[in-house]
Amino acid sequence: MMDGYESIMAQRADIMRASLGLDYARYRTGVLAFDYERLLADTGYDIDTARRVQRQTAVGDTPLVELVNITELARAVAAPGKGARIFVKDEAANPSGSFKDRRASLSVHEAQKRGYKGIAAATSGNYGAAVASQAAKAGLRCIVVQEAFDSEGIAQPEIAEKTRACEAYGAEVIRLSVGPELFYLLLCVLKETGYFNASLYSPYSILGIETLGYELAQQVQQQVGRFPDVVIATHAGGGNVTGTARGLKKAGAADTRMIAASVDLSGLHMASDHDFNRKSFTTGHTGFSMPFTTWPDRADVPHNAARSLRYMDRFATVTQGEVFYITEVLAELEGLQRGPAGNTSLAAAFIIAQELNQDRVIVVQETEYTGAGKHPLAQLNLAKRLGIDVRRGDPRENRPGTRIVIPEHPSQLAVTDVDLDGVRRSYLRHAIDLLSADDRLSDVDWNFLADETRTSRRYVEDIINESRRKTG
């Protein structure tokens, strides 16, 4: 019998320590600060070790594909001389069909090395299938906890597809309705089974993605003769941006710009029963990317290893209709049918390529497999059932949860930039909300916050002092 909610939450730190083998308290260095690099390094997985582990289960070494026809389409609607070459790292070639195999591989390897009998994860998306696939290869049991349907029992087609995939790999899937129970139930599972916690936000998960950025940089250098000018990653919880950017730097691509891209779902609440099925995307949208960027430690671990604000040079959003549109363009012009969530970054790349000269190189950092539930038609049919207006027209008329507008012409696609200064200020407000009246920030704390916001200590001090004056 499961313990009550309050009892389980009181045991959270102990459950996390037992299920991850990490004592996060060891890394605290200040009131707010912790030793981020040491937390990652103490795992023992440098880039070469991670790649070796992943190759043992056929993860990684995925192809880099130049999208010649999509590049030509971008140039056809761009100003003369504009239209960067667009490449895509085809992560659908991984065993379970997405880059999430990289995240799962190190967690499963660590679980097996430490003698855990099984592995558990809470996820409604591709990560569950990745964990189940890697667990099957390692001979470990697997439990996936999913937030799967609303109070009327209606499931998003994409989530139903992931349930099928997880079960196909032999995992037990626990399906829940939308609500606050997901994390509570995961803690219960971890306590009762003694399984390893394959958290999306652990160091193992982020280090697994570093290999993606590393490979990508090497492949572009081999094919083009230099590192990419821009890499665009679909952004949700922050792991994709964080791991890829770190991998790029480890490959020597320090000057490559890292752009985060999300589907604009502003106005929809991710924990709302009413809004749950109106998202059309289970990940890669602002319902995750905004809160996790402004406060990454809202995760299921004490210190999230995915800290995207440290690494992004730009944060752009696109509409639902634009992602559905570019998904069809990819299939019809390049012969690649890939799932729509992974094409968020492609939609942004198509637009941003038009800002750059034709000799520049943009890389779309990942693709994902598609299937019946992940196809755009499945999502659009559900939207229509829910009374959402689906039409062709100007994507600027898109209204999340009310209207999905699919462009009529490629020239209509556009990105909206998120104000990173506003995001940094929001992060710092979250940080000072944790402080008591007696807390005093040390040099370690000030420098940590400067690293977190990718600014200077002076900037951080000015923003925090300004915020304190406003709140009296």
pLDDT tens digit sequence for 62-75: 999 999 999 999 99
Residue 63 has what pLDDT? 98
Alpha carbon distance 65, 219 (integer Å): 10
**Is it the case that residue 435 has pLDDT exceeding 90?**
no
Contact between 172 and 143 (Cβ < 8 Å):
yes
- Pick from 50, 93, 88: which is nearest to 71 by CA? 88
Residue 420 has what pLDDT? 97
Residue 426 has what pLDDT? 96
Segment 291-317 shows an average pLDDT of 96
Instruction: Please state, as a whole number, how many other Cβ atoms lie within 10 Å of the Cβ of residue 450.
Output: 16
**Is it the case that residue 472 has pLDDT exceeding 70?**
no
Residue 5 has what pLDDT? 85
Segment 425-446 shows an average pLDDT of 92
Segment 292-307 shows an average pLDDT of 95
pLDDT band at 470 (very low <50, low <70, confident <90, very high): confident
Segment 159-176 shows an average pLDDT of 95
Alpha carbon distance 59, 229 (integer Å): 26
pLDDT band at 437 (very low <50, low <70, confident <90, very high): confident
Least confident segment among 84-93, 266-275, 376-385:
266-275
**Is it the case that residue 356 has pLDDT exceeding 90?**
yes
Segment 120-148 shows an average pLDDT of 96
b/e for 424-433, b at 16 or more Cβ within 10 A? bbbbbbebbe
H/E/C letters for each residue in the chain? CCCCHHHHHHCHHHHHHHHHCCCHHHHECCCCCECHHHHHHCCCCCHHHHHHHHHCCCCCCCCEEECHHHHHHHHHHCCCCECCEEEEECHHHCCCCCCHHHHHHHHHHHHHHHCCCEEEEECCCHHHHHHHHHHHHHCCEEEEEEEEECCCCCECHHHHHHHHHHHHCCCEEEEEECCCHHHHHHHHHHHHHCCEECCCCCHHHHHHHHHHHHHHHHHHHHHHCCCCCEEEEECCCCHHHHHHHHHHHHCCCCCCEEEEEEECCCCCCCCCCCCHHHCCCCCCEHHHHHHHHHCHHHCCCCCCCCCHHHCCCEEEEECHHHHHHHHHHHHHHHCCCCCCHHHHHHHHHHHHHHHCECCCEEEECCCCCCCCCCCHHHHHHHHHHCCCEEEEECHHHCECCCEEEEECCHHHCCCEECCHHHHHHHHHHHHHHCCCCCCCCCHHHHHHHHHHHCCCHHHHHHHHHHHHHHHC
Alpha carbon distance 201, 448 (integer Å): 19
Tell which wins on pLDDT, 9 or 44.
44
pLDDT band at 2 (very low <50, low <70, confident <90, very high): low
Residue 369 has what pLDDT? 93
The residue with tokens 């430690």 is 297
**Is it the case that residue 169 has pLDDT exceeding 90?**
yes
Mean pLDDT rounded to a whole number for the chain? 95
Residue 9 has what pLDDT? 87
Share of the chain above pLDDT 90, in %: 85
Instruction: Please state, as a whole number, how many other Cβ atoms lie within 10 Å of the Cβ of residue 372.
Output: 12
- Max distance between CA atoms of the chain, in angstroms, equals 68
Alpha carbon distance 407, 422 (integer Å): 29
**Is it the case that residue 1 has pLDDT exceeding 60?**
no
- Pick from 247, 238, 281: which is nearest to 263 by CA? 281
Segment 190-196 shows an average pLDDT of 97
Segment 224-249 shows an average pLDDT of 98
pTM for this entry: 0.96
